[in-house]
Structure 1
Amino acid sequence: MHRRLTLAGAAAVVGCSALIASGLANADTDDASAPDSLKGAFADAASTYDVPRDVLASLAYTESRFVQHDGPSQDNGYGLMHLESNADNHNLERASRLTDHSVDELQSDATANIDGAAAVLRKLADRSGLDGSDRSDLAQWYVPLAKYARGQTKYGAKLEADAVFDNVRNGFTHRADGERLSVAAHDVRPERGAYAGLRTAADGVQTQSDDYPAALWVPASSSNYSAGRSSAISAVVIHVTQGSYAGTISWFQNPEAQVSAHYVVRSSDGEITQMVREADTAWHARDGNSYAVGIEHEGYVDDPAWFTDVMYRSSAALTANIADDNGIPKDREHIVGHSEVPGNDHTDPGANWDWDLYMSYVTGGEEPDPEEGVPFTTWGSGVNVRADATTQSDVVGSLSGPTNVRVLCQKEGENVSSGGYSGAWWSKLKDQGGFIANIFVDHPDNKLPNVPLC
């Protein structure tokens, strides 16, 4: 099995000279000493501020999957460490004061962003009373992480810290900008301090939604929506959060946000949180607010890795339920993207959202047409498409970078290795007319799920 890979700026790392010679993919580096290395940036920041490297990396993975996105998130957070600048969280400005980085540099440069976040976390650790021995104990970093989130409510801050510690405990391997970044699984029980008494779904305690019992109920601030509706529900609007699941929930609880959606869906497992009753008017789509139910999906429009199959399926079941309850036709005239609602200037859910797959789930959960293939995304640059499942077969095409593909079928072929990953399964691509090794498909399993054998 190989682990999930990231998409942004990824380039294939070929592990042996034979594969380089065969032209399986272009080579890159995982060297932490290379210029602008993310590994090096995390190591340097951890050393400078005495913050555990795995805490920093897990925070970045939770917030951005290590992608330094252009522009701010929904709650005005910047960079792969999500340095916020809003009415209740001034981590961006605080990072600038604590380092020699300007605000502009912290917003745009990944290395500066990591350095700034480490400086803020160290300051929060000092204020939480962590001494030298405490700082070496991963469990002690829960409270500084919750304070880093600085949600309007403790619930939002705890949700964010829980998400980071889930990644600390479970570990992960991810590829970003040609580097493989890993955190080993840690057997750690976080010291939650003042947050210990606050119960969330992660603690096995939850309040279910009345509108959709499969969802959790966490109310948005009453300052962020209107009671009642002026029109009957006749549409569902699909959004992308431009941020994390926990951060979005926290933001909708902030009375300064002046924005909300009815539901938020998590990428990793499809968990749904309802924040506004369907009978009330969430503020999510301007002219569409009065007649639409809004569903936010964790992720970023420019990174399809967030749009997991489990999230598609979970959201589609919710949308189908809303449609059935309100007599809404299950078609693209009534189930629309934020960008398609009149009076809006947003672009979500964007070109990476797979409408065909999503609507196939909404209209009955049936699988997509086998002749159309199953959608996946590749990673790496210069990945050769071959006539058969071997590096000895003819090259029939090439994927210049991360690509959305349709996989018709898969079969076992030559065992290949790249960047520490290996496997013998190959996928036949519909549009490219040939095979690529499944190690270049962005999925944790080498044998892909829901894909027939060739």
Structure 2
Amino acid sequence: MSRRSFRRGGALLAVASLALAAPAATAQTAPADQQRQRAFAAAAEEFGVPENVLLGVSFLESRWDSNAGTPSTAAGYGPMHLTDLRAAGTGGSHHDEGGEDPRGDGRRSELHPSSPGPAPATPQLQTIDRAAQLIGTSAETLRQDPVQNIRGGAALLADYQRQTGARGETPADWYGAVTRYGDGSSFADEVFETLKTGVDRVTDDGQHLTLAPTPGLEPRSREDTKVECPRSVSCESVPAPYQELPGGGYGNHDLANRPQSQKIDYIVIHDTEGYWDDVLKLVQDPTYVSWNYSIRSSDGKIAQHVPTKDVAYHAGNWYVNSKSIGVEHEGFAAKGSWYTEAMYRTSAKLVRYLAGKYGIPLDRAHIIGHDNVPGINPAKIPTMHWDPGPYWDWSHYFDLLGAPFDHGFGLPGSKLITITPDFAANKPAFTGCESPGKPCTPRGSTSQMLRTEPDANAPLLKDAGLHPDGTPSTMDVADVGSRIDAGQRYAVAEVRGDWTAVWYLGQKGWFLNPRKAPTAKPAIGTVVTPKPGKASVPVYGTAYPEASAYPAGRTPQPIVALPYSLQTGQRYSSSGTVGSEYYYATKFDPAEHLVVKGKTRYVQVQFGHRIAYVNADDVQVLPAF
């Protein structure tokens, strides 16, 4: 862009309120599916912003989607992610909700601190006011009108550019303004990396946009060497405290020596249900719980709290905690919010780095959501959390991980399938995002519902653990009792026309899987079924050792079956055999900590929405043909 056009943008910015309707009219004259592309071009010209920079900023915030005027997890609205905390509301932390004990171990008292209260309206959470002022319109208009939202974002970006004092003649000159827009250099790095590669996609409301590649633009690298992160992301250390508390307790994690002491098998994806500043305060509270990493929504910035060698209290299941790394994402699954592209991208880079470092398979049996973690006993099942929720785009996330779900499938007719709904087109009628029973705003989801019969009106399945009263599961956004997600693998029980049934919590669960537009694909793998002579097999939420494995003076951890069973004739997807382990850590002195390893072997299975374990001596593992 020329220096002249940049000056022209500044002049137009001063009188933008006189030309509110013109860009909208220009966009409306374009073909129906290219109106948003024209809106970006018009706004870039009007405010003197390089069009590719404007497109890149928007893509990293919203993927150019309008999201039906609903807020993101960081209170952002529209394609340009203009933030409005007043309209989006506030939140605490998902660790404050319900009765889940994040540590997930009866050896120590549960930690349930109070919520931190409302988030403050920081400048990063209230950019819509300045954008509205710059173009002379209302915050409500910017929340609901994508064209005006793009104009407001372009005006704001140009305003930030003037404040930097940079000349703005080339896209590279806009690095400072982009950093300010996304509240961090990690966001700007991701934007410029996207400019280098280009993007072409169709939005949630059918708009086709293209960002042509611009070779030669290189993002900056982080310099902090005190953290365990890939060098291509912005990552800082915000340590969680390990200290003694009055009364003999301690918090908020356990020192360990992984992977020498225990192999790390899982990475658990969470959302915070709180805003960034409050989340960082909570994880630094020694009386609170902990997790290994947090990722900011606005720009994808990463903070590490607990070294990966140590065990954080995050998943509500001590076996999973001791074998996993917990990654929190600033967000609100309960509100049905959408997650930013900047956060998806840096999260995927972090998880890919950690998975490579520790040999963790990039599949949905090992990269799991908090909602996939089982309760350690029947009483804990109703208290388990369900984040990151049905609006986390697992398919897109695994594309970014370099492990897409559309590769490596089996032959037609395989008795094992991978769930693969189209995120944009799949919009289950969930309720309860804002208040109990109220329909959620329809939006893309990687979740599908299972029914008792091949009929869209048939009841949902029953979950004896989540609904011990025997009532069917519901469409409440938090109810995972009859839900399957993209990337998960299930054993096929039956096929009738366009409907497929899978084995799920001891039942057949039916979902629509049309041959012309399939929502699942054949997979290669193994399944488990009871050994001959066994009518049913117990199912467990942990893979703990037998009592005889514990040394003298160490009380064995109970092995408690869940209220489900694997019955003769049923098959469940297997993700491999694991040894039995229990990390005995009940005292502050790590010299007292001990990993107990038993002779019992377990097989991990996809038993419902959550993973589970069965004793390897009870089942046979078979290839899925």
With the shorter chain as reference, the TM-score category is 0.5 to 0.7
Residues 3-402 of structure 1 mapped to structure 2, 5 A cutoff: 32-34=30-32, 37-69=35-67, 71-84=70-83, 86-89=121-124, 90-130=126-166, 134-150=167-183, 157-176=184-203, 177-189=205-217, 200-201=221-222, 207=225, 209=227, 218-221=235-238, 226-228=241-243, 229-230=251-252, 238-240=269-271, 251=276, 261-263=291-293, 274-277=304-307, 294-296=326-328, 314=352, 317=355, 336=373, 347-350=387-390, 371=414, 372-378=416-422
Structure 1 residues 287 and 172, CA gap change in structure 2 (3 angstroms): same
Q: Which amino acid aligns with 2:122?
A: A
Does structure 2 retain, via aligned residues, the 8 Å contact 1:207–1:216? no
Any idea what SS the aligned residue of 2:200 has? Answer: strand
Q: Percent identity?
A: 25
| In 2: Cα distance, 1:331 partner to 1:127 partner | 43
Q: Secondary structure at the match of 1:56?
A: helix
Structure (1 or 2) with the greater helix fraction: 1
Aligned CA distance change for structure 1 residues 343 and 102 (closer, same or farther; 3 Å): farther
SS at match of 2:390: coil
Check 1:333–1:49 CA distance in 2 against 1; reply closer, same or farther (3 A cut). closer
Q: Please report how far the alpha carbon of residue 106 of structure 1 lies from its aligned counterpart in structure 2 after TM superposition.
A: 1.9
Distance 1:305 1:379, change over 3 A: farther
Query: Would the aligned equivalents of 1:265 and 1:298 in 2 still touch at CA under 8 Å?
Result: yes
How far is the alpha carbon of 1:450 from its aligned partner? 8.3
C-alpha change, 1:128 and 1:54, in structure 2 (3 Å) is same
Moved more, 101-110 or 30-39: 30-39
- State how far apart, in whole Å, the 2-side matches of 1:238 and 1:31 are: 43
CA contact (8 A) 1:263 1:273 kept: yes
Counterparts in 2 of 1:168 and 1:108: CA distance versus 1, 3 Å: same
What are the ranges of 5 or more consecutive residues in structure 1 without an aligned counterpart?
1-29, 151-156, 193-198, 323-328, 362-366, 383-400, 409-429, 442-447
User: Which has the greater radius of gyration?
Assistant: 2
Q: 3-state SS of the aligned residue for 2:373?
A: strand
What TM-score, normalized to structure 1? 0.52
Aligned mates of 1:33, 1:218 — CA distance in 2: 42
SS at match of 2:80: coil
- Taking the aligned partners of 2:312 and 2:129, their CA distance within structure 1 comes to 31
> 1:294 Cα deviation (Å)?
3.1
Q: Does the CA-based 8 Å contact 2:80-2:153 persist in structure 1? A: yes
- CA–CA distance in structure 1, aligned partners of residues 303 and 355 of structure 2: 14
How many aligned positions are there?
332
Change beyond 3 A, Cα 1:276–1:332: closer
Determine helix, strand or coil for the equivalent of 2:122. Answer: coil
Rounded to whole Å, the distance in 2 between the matches of 1:165 and 1:285 is: 35
Does structure 2 retain, via aligned residues, the 8 Å contact 1:51–1:122?
Answer: yes
- Cα distance change on mapping 1:254 and 1:139 into 2, 3 Å: farther
- The Cα of 1:348 is off from its aligned counterpart by 2.2
Tell me how far apart the structure 1 counterparts of residues 351 and 29 of structure 2 sit (CA, whole Å). 38
Specify the SS of the correspondent of 2:236: coil
Paired residue type of 1:296: E
- Conserved 8 A contact 1:42-1:57: yes
Counterpart of 1:57, as a letter, is L
- Structure 2 stretches lacking a partner, 5+ long: 1-27, 86-120, 244-250, 257-263, 285-289, 361-365, 402-407, 427-443, 448-485, 490-510, 526-625
Q: Residues 266 and 311 of structure 1 are in contact (CA less than 8 Å); yes or no, is this contact kept in structure 2?
A: no
Distance 1:330 1:126 in 2: 43
State how far apart, in whole Å, the 2-side matches of 1:93 and 1:373 are: 49
CA-CA distance at 1:375 after TM superposition: 3.9
Which of these residues, 510, 513, 523, is aligned with residue 432 of structure 1?
Answer: 513
Q: 1:167 to 1:257 in 2, by over 3 A?
A: farther
* Deviation, structure 1 residue 50: 1.3
C-alpha change, 1:278 and 1:35, in structure 2 (3 Å) is closer
**Amino acid of the residue matched to residue 292 of structure 2?**
H
- Cα shift at 1:350: 2.0
Contact (CA 8 Å) 2:221, 2:231: kept in 1 or not?
A: no
Question: What is the rounded CA distance, in whole Å, between the counterparts of 1:31 and 1:451 in structure 2?
Answer: 49
Q: Tell me by how many angstroms 1:91 deviates.
A: 2.0
TM-score, L = length of structure 2: 0.40
Give the Å deviation of 1:219. 3.5
Task: Give the CA deviation at 1:168.
Answer: 1.0
Q: Distance in 1 between matches of 2:123 and 2:381?
A: 30
In 2, Cα distance between equivalents of 1:376 and 1:305? 21
Matched-pair contact (CA < 8 Å) for 2:294–2:327: yes
Following TM superposition, by how much is the alpha carbon of 1:87 offset from its aligned partner in structure 2, in angstroms? 1.5
Q: 1:282 to 1:74 in 2, by over 3 A?
A: farther
